[in-house]
Amino acid sequence: MEINGLIYKLSKELKWLISAFIIVLSIGFYTGLLFVGETSSANPNGIEEQYLGNEADEDAVVMKFKKSEQEMLTLVHDHILSMSIIFFLVGCILSITKLNKKLKLFLMIEPFISVVLTFGGLYLLWKDMLWMKYIVMFSGMLMTLTFTASVVVILTQLVRSYPKN
């Protein structure tokens, strides 16, 4: 069964449903990024401080303590489960868009790799593998870029009519 480009043939009701879902999902996703920016300064040292604390810094404006193992396991568990569902649903919708198959496959699979690297990396950082903060930063940025690209492709194709070529 050929599904490449099927998005153009969906009923208006389904297009509205998918559009509403993608827009609300994006609001939640980007709100989460705002939270990351507020709590970790969105840089490798801020990420390290968020999970390992800053108790040694006497000049710290906000005192942060090392997360407990229970907090870390909860964070990793919750994020890996919820984000895998998010990226599965976005991937299912992306699968029916008209797009180069290799690019589409990359946009569908890469977020799962980034989820494991980002949240597994946070746990390893917490276990004192300090270099993981760079992996976490890179994989988080890549996950955000692939999510954004997927959303743009989906929303663009939902509002356009079927291409002639």
Q: Total domain count for the chain? A: 1
Q: Could you report the per-residue pLDDT of 55-108, keeping only the tens digit for each?
A: 877 777 788 888 999 999 999 999 999 999 999 999 999 999 999 999 999 999
Determine contact, residues 163/4, Cβ cutoff 8 Å: no
| pLDDT for position 61 | 78
In a domain, 53, yes or no: yes
Domain, as residue range, for 106: 11-159
The pLDDT value recorded for residue 131 is 95
Is 147 among the domain residues?
Answer: yes
In this prediction the pTM is 0.90
Exposed, middle or buried by CB within 10 Å (0-12, 13-18, 19+), for 79?
middle
pLDDT, residue 48, reads 85
CB 124 within 8 A of CB 132: yes
Residue 162 has pLDDT above 80, yes or no: no
In a domain, 1, yes or no: no
**Per-residue confidence (pLDDT) for residue 164, from 0 to 100:** 67
Q: Is residue 116 part of a domain?
A: yes
- Residue 46's pLDDT is what? 84
Q: Is 164 within a domain?
A: no
Q: What is the pLDDT of residues 9-65, one digit of tens each?
A: 999 999 999 999 999 999 999 999 998 887 776 788 888 888 888 887 777 778 888
In a domain, 48, yes or no: yes
Q: Residue 113: inside a domain, yes or no? A: yes
Domain assignment present for residue 136? The answer is yes
